[in-house]
Each structure stands twice: as C-alpha cells, then as structure tokens.
Chain A
Amino acid sequence: MLQFEKTEKYYGNHLALSVPALELPEGLHWLQGENGSGKTTLLKMIAGLHPFKGDILRDGISIKKQRNKFLSAVNYGEAEPLYPSFLTAKDLLELYCYTKNAAITDSMDLLSELHIKDAYYKPVGTYSSGMVKKLSLVLAFVGNPKLILLDEPLITIDVASVDLICKFIKQKRDREGVSFIISSHQSFETAIHFTSTVLVKHQTLQIKEL
C-alpha cells in the first residue's frame, strides 16, 4: 500500500501537486490526466527523482526516512529515458542488478524477447529511440520490486513489443503480486485489467475503482 502524507510539490512558487492524505492499495493503477497535469511529476516523486514536501510511504516505509529500503522495492521506467551514449545495455543492466541485488540472467529472457540482446554490448548512443525505451523497460523490471512505476511505457515501441510488455506486466502482477502505477494516453483495451484509475486533476489525485 502506498500512503501520501501532506505531500506537496512546488516548482518555484507554483504548486504542481498537493496530496494531503491518500492511500493507494496494491494493484494495477492507471494514471490519467491531461498533458502537464503532473503525472510524470508524481511518478518521479515516488521514484525518488524529485524532491517534495511531506512524505510517501510504502507498506509503512518512508521514502524520506528509509530511502534505500523504500527504493529497493520501487522501480521506475521513464517516458523518455536518457542514458549516457557511451554506456552499453550490459553496463546499465550490471549497475541495476548490482544495486537492486538481482541476477543478470533473470533479465536476459526479456532482453531477448524484446530483440535487444544483439545490441547488448553496443553503446546506447547507437540505439534507436524504441530500443532505448525497451531497455528502460527491462531495467524497470530488474530485481524483486513490489511496485513498478511506468511512465508512458507503450510510446515509441513496436506493436509486437506492446503485447509482450502487457503480458509481462500481467505475469508480474499475477505471479509475484507486484503493483503497478502506469501512466498512458494509450488504451490497454483488454490486455490489462486495471484495479483503479488515478486521475491527476487540479493539482491533486482522485482515485476511481474499476
């Protein structure tokens, strides 16, 4: 369960997001909202990339007080991932696996299925935007996370990979009980059955169970 306690995000003097008190149960959550409503900001706050006021807790573990413990169980896939061009997929996967205490072999199947295993030793600078996106998704699944945050996971990737990612999300949820918060302007149709939608509107969150 994810708990928000007096969470506020300011950009300068502008209040971008305010969640005084909210509990988000485990499950598959579809994060919705207009462009610029603060979806990415919310995900980055939970992922530890953005500073904010207040606190966010996962199963009672505070990101402010027990940051490492919190982040060990929270993975994040960016909408437009940006990695140093000289790093290879191998470099990044080794870094993620080392810090998330995971085995590299566990990620190899997904790399292979997404057809980026051939580029494993090549610098990311030689990848297409779709390949970088696929790599970021593989990295988002590394280890044993309890919560995975995916920001627009379906953009720039091919149709076959979209099906594969949806299948993988379902597997992770059904077999390992991993929760997801997924922001997407695209519809998942019947591929994923969401528990709820989280609407970002008027600088706050509204949950609607499905």
Chain B
Amino acid sequence: MKPIIKVMQTVLVNHFYKLNAGFLAFFFFLFFGVVRGEQLIYFHVSLIKAFLASPVFLAMVIIAWGLYTLKCADYIIKRILEPRQLFLTCINRLAPKKVWGWMLYTHLLIYMPVLLYVLIALSFAVHAHQWIQVIIITISNLAFIVSATQAYFRVLQQQSTESFIFKLNLPEPKFAKPLFAFPLYFLWHERKQMLLITKVFSFLVLYGFISFYEPDGYDIRPLLLIFLLISAAHMSMIYQIRFFENEFLLFTKNLPITLTKRFVQMLGLYLVLFSPELIYVYRAYPLFFSINDYPQLVLILLSLAAFFHSVLLTSDMKAEDFLKIVFGMLAVLFFLIFYNPGSLLFVFVLLIAFVFFYGNFYEFEKSNQAKEVKP
C-alpha cells in the first residue's frame, strides 16, 4: 500500500466511518434490515423504479445525495484544518494533478455508500432506456464529486476556507446567552454546515413522510420511527456538543450549580435544538398524531439525545464502544416501538440518562489528561 493511501485512509476515511458509524448503520438497518430477506430485492427494485418514474421523488433523492456530499465535505475540510493534521500539507509537494487525484480517491471512498446505490439505479435507468434520468443522475453526481474534491484540494493548498463555496455567514443572535445555550452558539458559530445539513435532512425526512405516506388508519408508530431516524441524524452533533463541553466549558464545573439543574439545562438545550422539528411536525396533525401523543414525540427526541449525551460522559468511553451503544439503543427502540409502548418507554430512557449523568458528570475526565503527568 502506498504511504499516501495509508495516510488518507487512516486519517480521513477510517475516522469518517468511525464517527458516522451510528448514522450509516441506522440507514443500513432501515434499508436492508427491516424488509424480510425474500422481499429485500423486490423492495429495492420498487424503490429505484419509483424514484426513476417520479421527477419529484428523483429530485428529493438527488437532494439527499447532495446532503450526504455536504456532510462528507464538512467532515473532510474540518479534519484537514485541524492543527494535528497539519502534516497533510506535505502532500502539496506532489504535482497539483496528483493531489487532486488523491483527494478524489479519498472522497470516493467516503461517498461509496451513495455511489454504489447510484450505480445500481443507473443500470436500471439504462435498462429501461430512461435516458433523461441517466443524464440527470450522472451529471448531478459528477457535480457533487467534482465540487467536493475541488473544495478539499483548495483547503489543503490554502489551509483556509476563505472564499470557499460552502462558507456560510449566519446572523449573530443579539439576546443574552444563558449557560444551557452555549453549545447552541457553538454549533451556530463553529459547526454551521453540520447544523444546516442535519436540519435540512430532518426537514426532508419529515416533509417526505408527511407528503407521501398514506396511513390506513391512525397510528403513531411510523412517526415515532421517523423521529428515531431524526435522532440518529443528530448523533454527530451531540458528539460535537460533548467535544465543546470538554474543551471549553470545564470552568463551569467550578460554579455552584446542582446536578439536577445541569440535567434540566441539558434537556433545555436539546428542546431548543429539536424545536424546528417539533414545530414543523404540526403539519402532520391530526392525520399522523393526536395531541395526546405529542408528548411522546417530544420525549423520544429529548430522551435519546439526553441518553447519548450522558453516555459520552463516561470517562473511558471509546468511539467504538459508544457506537455500539448507539446502534444497540436504536435497534432496541426500533423493535419496541412496534409494540406501541407509549410515553413510558421514553420516560424510562430519560431515567437511564439521568442515572448516567448523575453518576458521571463530576467523575468525567478527558482521556488526554491522563497523559499530562504520566512519567
């Protein structure tokens, strides 16, 4: 293996899959784990034929691919700009064409889950002589791949996102900043792309569900599963919030604030973070949920976010272990929701989150602190 391939895979590709394993595993489970074996191929063939036949559906699928591209670009750019990854600039000593080629190679590796599905869809479109769809899918994906690669190339060469195409300047809220909202300001300032992509994804999932799903009768469970998916999509953001707390909010441990109040503040943080979804979901009323079931929707988002946040307070938590817990929790809830357990299930999850939070908040210590004084 060439040294550059090894570096790119270790530093950029493997880390991307580690960080997003929960998110990707959930999608894999949704697309390949839910449908029974013998119906799996039929399900996917129907799905592909459906979006090839409907321009609106195809547009939504392409937007979803575009969002995944933005997610990849956001990750790679932030990773390249990390001070610890500064050594990557040594690749710039190669000819620019080669550098571009390596960045393309890197992007293709992290774009692989989408690319495989795109190639299968293209083969169906060619087989059915749907040439317009072939052109649209090919051009859109080429545009995504080339623009992402070009962005990495520029960032690697300039070590800056100046004049970068994804740069966003969001307005600065002027009101007073309460402690619970500090992580929201962090997302607003430092993780704009991630915030935007996740929220657009949430909106598209909810919009698609409300617009296209036709229930036979009243059933809260499909909407709960959609909210489970939205929770999974916010996983990276929760991870970033914990990173921010570890790096910049350690001083708040010196402030006399009770643990219960800190826990309530965390719930307040996630209530604000999920408020766009919780407001937008009113479009689904009364067909998909009744007012009596609305607390369930709030609770599923809050309890899961609180649970994952609290799990990340465990000192020795490795990324792999965390992802196992995330995936396990999502899988268990996925099946339990089918039995329509009601709000009690999410109250129970919230209770577990509180126990984790209570036991670990003051005991948590960044793992690199252990190395500071070691002989």
A residues lining the B interface (CB < 8 Å): 11-12, 14, 16, 36, 38, 41, 47-51, 67-69, 71-72, 74-76, 78, 81-87, 91, 94-96, 99-100
Contact indicator B248/A41 (Cβ below 8 Å): no
Which listed residue (B176, B253, B374) contacts A12, Cβ 8 A? Answer: B374
Contact indicator B244/A95 (Cβ below 8 Å): no
Contact indicator B254/A12 (Cβ below 8 Å): no
Contact indicator A11/B249 (Cβ below 8 Å): no
Q: How far is the CB of A145 from chain B (nearest CB, A)?
A: 11
Contact indicator A87/B177 (Cβ below 8 Å): yes
Q: How far is the CB of B88 from chain A (nearest CB, A)?
A: 24
Return chain B residues, CB-CB under 8 Å to A76: 251, 254
Q: B375 an interface residue at 8 Å Cβ cutoff?
A: yes
Q: Which of B186, B254, B374 has the most CB of A within 10 A?
A: B254
Return chain B residues, CB-CB under 8 Å to A49: 250-251, 253-254
Contact indicator B370/A95 (Cβ below 8 Å): no
Contact (A11, B374) CB under 8 Å given A49-B254, A99-B256: yes
Contact indicator A83/B256 (Cβ below 8 Å): no
Contact indicator A95/B365 (Cβ below 8 Å): no
Contact indicator A86/B186 (Cβ below 8 Å): yes
Against A, the Cβ 8 Å flags (1 = close, 0 = not) of B217-249 are: 000000000000000000000000000100111
Q: B179 an interface residue at 8 Å Cβ cutoff?
A: yes
Return chain B residues, CB-CB under 8 Å to A36: 372-373
Q: B169 an interface residue at 8 Å Cβ cutoff?
A: no
Contact indicator A100/B255 (Cβ below 8 Å): yes
Which listed residue (B249, B365, B369, B370) contacts A84, Cβ 8 A? Answer: B249
Q: B207 an interface residue at 8 Å Cβ cutoff?
A: no
| Complex CA–CA separation, A68 to B248 (angstroms) | 21
Q: How far is the CB of A41 from chain B (nearest CB, A)?
A: 7
| Complex CA–CA separation, A49 to B327 (angstroms) | 32
Contact indicator A75/B254 (Cβ below 8 Å): yes
Q: B162 an interface residue at 8 Å Cβ cutoff?
A: no
Contact indicator A71/B256 (Cβ below 8 Å): yes
Contact indicator A96/B255 (Cβ below 8 Å): yes
Q: B339 an interface residue at 8 Å Cβ cutoff?
A: no
Return chain A residues, CB-CB under 8 Å to B375: 14
Contact (A82, B373) CB under 8 Å given A87-B182, A95-B179, A100-B256: no
Chain B contacts with A in 252-291, Cβ cutoff 8 A: 252-258
| Complex CA–CA separation, A161 to B258 (angstroms) | 35
Return chain A residues, CB-CB under 8 Å to B189: 85-86
Return chain A residues, CB-CB under 8 Å to B247: 82
A-B contact pairs, 25 of them (CB 8 A): A11-B370, A11-B374, A14-B370, A14-B373, A36-B372, A47-B253, A47-B254, A48-B362, A49-B250, A51-B363, A67-B362, A68-B258, A71-B254, A72-B256, A76-B254, A78-B251, A81-B251, A84-B182, A84-B249, A86-B185, A91-B177, A94-B176, A96-B255, A99-B256, A100-B256
CB nearest neighbor in A for B244:
A84
| Complex CA–CA separation, A76 to B182 (angstroms) | 21
CB nearest neighbor in B for A12:
B370
Return chain B residues, CB-CB under 8 Å to A69: 256
Return chain B residues, CB-CB under 8 Å to A87: 177, 182, 185
Return chain B residues, CB-CB under 8 Å to A96: 255
| Complex CA–CA separation, A143 to B374 (angstroms) | 36
